[in-house]
Structure 1
Amino acid sequence: MSQKNREGKRSARERLREQREKDRARNKRKRTMGAVGAVVAVLAVAAGVGMFASNATKDSGKSGSSVEPPRGAVGKGRMVIETGKSAKPGRPAPSTLNVYEDFRCPGCKQFEDVFRTALHDLQDIGRLKVRYHLVTIIDGNMGGIGSLHSANAAACAQDAGKFRAYHDVLYKHQPDETRDTYANKNRLIKLAGTVPGLDTPAFRSCVKDGRHNGWVKKSSDSFNHSGFASTPTVLLNGKSIYGKPDKPLSPNKLKRMVAAAARG
């Protein structure tokens, strides 16, 4: 083999070796950049998660996120608004009606329209106390926030000692189930103007700030875990008495049941 050919082959081997070294270096750089890119991507995702968690934390600090029961709320966790008076001083009403209601619920309006007068009569003579559990089931089913806002407004009315009157006004003016009219806080304040003495700066502030939103949400969550499936759910002395086709309830029948309980 000539010297020239040997040198040519050696040069070719050297060029091949140099090219392999360059390829290895380039591949190493790619792997390094890939690893850096992966780290950047992970950090970016982590930053996104951090922002989401931070926003959630900020939201939880907004007005209404804390559980602030309205004045005079009773029961476990003070989750119930009770209306009615004692039969005699120091003597509680002999019967208790627990009512689970949503101010957007058409069935609840039907119950209230039919039984309102009877409930008032029985409460006013001290035979019945009514315990209201406020629920937001329609917000979940139909979308919107009207159930929440109206329930908060009712709790604000309870603060002012005007719950029963405002409760009745909300049902008398209930919008169509598909319309989230009660999401409008100004509408709720306007309706308060029909209840003497309710539309005050304190009431307006309570409604606008959503002071009892957290309490309403907790009340509704309790309902969701109660085993009851719909509103209205009506219990007289612990027994379900409403919504059974084979045992329809009427105002007169309710009065007879309460009278029987009073007799013992």
Structure 2
Amino acid sequence: MSSKPNKPQNHQQKSTARREALHEARLREQQAETRRRRIVIGVSAALVLALCGGVAIAVSGGSGHSGGAAASAPVVAPANTSGPNGTVITYGNANAPHTLDVYEDFRCPICKKFETSDGQAVQALADNGTYKIQYHMAAFLDDNLGGKGSITALAAAGAALNQSPADFKKFHDALYANQPDEQTDGYGDVNTVLYVAAKAGLNSDAFVNAVKANTYLPWAQQVATAFNSSGVTGTPTMKLDGKQLTLFDSSGNPISADQYTALIQQSAGTK
């Protein structure tokens, strides 16, 4: 039998092997670049956590204003905002007898730690009318660690708030429940933010289009600027009627939900 038909097959096999080798080389280079980037960001994150003792992320660096060309776009404030220039997000009965001011950054791992432990208790006291919550959101971790996850998530939260405070709260909770490692800047990817939003039931065309178009990015930058002028030096921070609350014990762990409720009742004089 002739061996000629095998030659094209051998040539094809060699071409396939060369393509696979080139693909593997590119993949190894991409993986190496990812490792190098994580090392650089990881060092920055370690410095931040060392400064704050693992209890709250300390504010440092610049303004947290990422966003490129969108920075010069007109400011469109979502519906349902309050405070100076619409930079405050209120959840709960606006006529509640007490006010809980909450200072957070969606990229902050310590905020997630507290939210996981006490988030339901925080919301329950707003839902029963003990206080209204005023959220003051930050984006300084984008400057501290690099990236744009804080500001991107905050802009998307504006799209949720434009629908209702309840949708903002659902999205707020979902962002913390699904928060990526702050070193990876996972929320810098709009598709990741939209995926988390969909898990919370936020997937209307109006919401998705506003997120993709960065409609509320200039507003988010304005909110971040207001946080930087607040005098708050770390996240999470909470103040009941202007008095700062102690949210963590001496070991750096969040107080329990029962302890939080008792603290609020004592501070509000309702116990």
Query: Shared fold (TM-score greater than 0.5)?
Result: yes
Match among 175, 189, 194 for residue 189 of structure 1: 194
Q: Map 1:20-169; keep pairs closer than 5 Å.
A: 62=70, 65-85=73-93, 92-161=95-164, 162-169=167-174
Structure 2 counterpart of 1:251, which letter? A
2:178 is the alignment partner of 1:170: no
Higher alpha-carbon deviation: 62-71 or 221-230: 62-71
Deviation at 1:249, TM superposition (A): 4.2
Q: SS of the residue aligned with 1:130? A: strand
Structure label with greater radius of gyration: 1
Aligned length: 200
Structure 1 counterpart of 2:100, which letter? L
CA contact (8 A) 2:98 2:132 kept: yes
In structure 2, distance between residues paired with 1:105 and 1:214? 21
Structure 2 counterpart of 1:220, which letter? A
In structure 1, distance between residues paired with 2:161 and 2:254? 31
In structure 2, distance between residues paired with 1:258 and 1:93? 14
> Percent identity between the aligned chains?
35
CA contact (8 A) 1:102 1:108 kept: yes
Alpha-carbon spacing, 1:134–1:205, altered in 2? closer, same or farther (3 Å): same
CA contact (8 A) 2:70 2:217 kept: no
Structure 2, unpaired ranges of 5+: 1-66
CA contact (8 A) 1:235 1:241 kept: yes
Q: SS of the residue aligned with 2:117? A: helix
In structure 2, distance between residues paired with 1:64 and 1:120? 35
Deviation at 1:185, TM superposition (A): 0.7
- TM-score w.r.t. length of structure 1: 0.69
In structure 2, distance between residues paired with 1:229 and 1:65? 29
CA contact (8 A) 2:249 2:255 kept: no
Alpha-carbon spacing, 1:244–1:124, altered in 2? closer, same or farther (3 Å): closer
- TM-score w.r.t. length of structure 2: 0.67
Structure 1, unpaired ranges of 5+: 1-58, 87-91
